[in-house]
Amino acid sequence: MLRYALSRLVSLALSLLAASVVIFAVIEVIPGDPAAYMLGLNAAPETVAALREELGLTGSLWARYLDWVSGMLTGDFGLSYTYRVPVADLVVQRLGVSLPLAGYALALSTAIALPVGLWAAARRGGPVDLAVMGATQLGIAVPNFWFAMLLVLVFAVKLGWFSAGGFPGWEGGFLAGIKALTLPAVALALPQAAILARVMRSALIETLGQDYIRSARAKGLTQGQAIRRHALRNALIPVLTILGLQFSFLLAGAIIIENVFFLPGLGRLIFQAITQRDLIVVESVVMLLVFAVIVVTFVVDLAYAAVDPRLRRR
């Protein structure tokens, strides 16, 4: 198990290294000089050159790459071109919104999807199963921003239970923060839950057809006991895969939802940074997201091994 974890860790470090090279290269080849963009069309070439110097855009590619990587390792992500504040501060601030939002949405979608998938699988072909399959189909088909607007219309405008957008900050108290994140989390969670419920259902149905379920029934287990004691854990493996993918998506993919609800999250930060050619912010946030995705993959790999003894020896 330890060896398995170590080998996963090594591959994690290598992936990060590869990702940093790719991100740096892509940002370098994107046309558009941030200094020229910041100073406007009529700037004198000397001024632009001076700003380039100040922003650290001169020097060889190799030196700048090393600079960037070593800076990140020590927690120095550089200075935002537009805001003129350390990128690290910006990111930490935004993470304070995006991370809880992603976690909240993930918790919601898991809490909904697993029982629903289980319920549908146990009553395969029955009315419950058909209803669940219909509802999840709809959940996948409906775009989440449209669903978000619907939520705002009903729960904020009509009923007035939640505010329509914005985030008061965690200084305003935990409950106020959670309340502000509830509608966006629901909007993010439901389509994810629909996918997850379907995966859970089909994984369980497949597991229920396995020979060892028949063996379990022959030992005297009821159908319910066979599901709880044998099928569930075996069905978890595909579910874990999807969960890992979904967390990464929720962290990085909340751009539209954050815009609908005016949330100061990572998604909005990266969106604004791209439009303003604030490439150092783009670079850092993308790298951070890659880091998050790789860490989540690592955790999922460990979870596989915890669930499935066949993986532990590798």
Partner 1 sequence: MIAVEGLSVAIGAAPVLRGVSFGVERGQIVGLVGESGSGKSMTALAVMGLLPPGAKASGRVALDGTDLLALPEAALCDVRGRQIGMIFQEPMTALNPVQNIGDQVAETLVIHRAASRSEALREARRRLDRVGLPEGRFPLTRYPHELSGGQRQRVCIAMAIALRPQLLIADEPTTALDVTTQARILDLLKGLVEEERMGLLLITHDLAVVAGMADRLAVMRAGEIVEQGPVADVLRERRHPYTRALFEASAHHPGAEARPGDTPLLQVQGAVRDYPLPRTRLFSRPLPFRAVDGVSFEVRRGESVGLVGESGCGKSTLTRAILGLEPLQAGEIRLDGQAVQAGQRMPEGLRRKMNVVFQDPYGSFNPRHRVGRLIAEPFHLTGRPADADARVAEALDSVGLSPEDRHKFIHEFSGGQRQRIAIARALIIRPELIVLDEAVSALDVRVRAQILDLLADLRARLGLSYLFISHDLHVVRAITDRVLVMQAGRIVEHGPTEKVLRAPEHPYTKDLLAAAPELEVPT
Binding site for partner 1 (CB under 8 A): 6-7, 10, 210-212, 214-222, 225, 229-230, 233-234, 307-310, 313-314
Q: In terms of CB distance, is 111 or 214 closer to partner 1? A: 214
Q: Please answer whether residues 185 and 98 qualify as being in contact, where contact means their C-beta atoms are separated by less than 8 angstroms.
A: no
Burial 15-48 (b: 16+ CB within 10 A, else e): bbeebbeebbeeeeeeeeebbbbbeeeeeeeeeb
User: Nearest distance from residue 121's CB to partner 1, in Å?
Assistant: 14
User: Nearest distance from residue 293's CB to partner 1, in Å?
Assistant: 23
User: Nearest distance from residue 124's CB to partner 1, in Å?
Assistant: 9
Q: In terms of CB distance, is 258 or 301 closer to partner 1? A: 301
Residues 6+ apart with CB under 8 A from 115: none
User: Nearest distance from residue 103's CB to partner 1, in Å?
Assistant: 27
Closest C-alpha among 297, 294, 288 to residue 68: 288
Q: In terms of CB distance, is 128 or 176 closer to partner 1? A: 128
Q: In terms of CB distance, is 40 or 220 closer to partner 1? A: 220
Strand partners, 86: 79
**Cα dihedral sign for 187, 190, 191, 192?**
positive
Closest C-alpha among 169, 204, 214, 162 to residue 184: 162
User: Nearest distance from residue 197's CB to partner 1, in Å?
Assistant: 22
Q: In terms of CB distance, is 44 or 218 closer to partner 1? A: 218
Cα separation, 293 vs 213, whole angstroms: 35
User: Nearest distance from residue 74's CB to partner 1, in Å?
Assistant: 28
Q: In terms of CB distance, is 158 or 313 closer to partner 1? A: 313
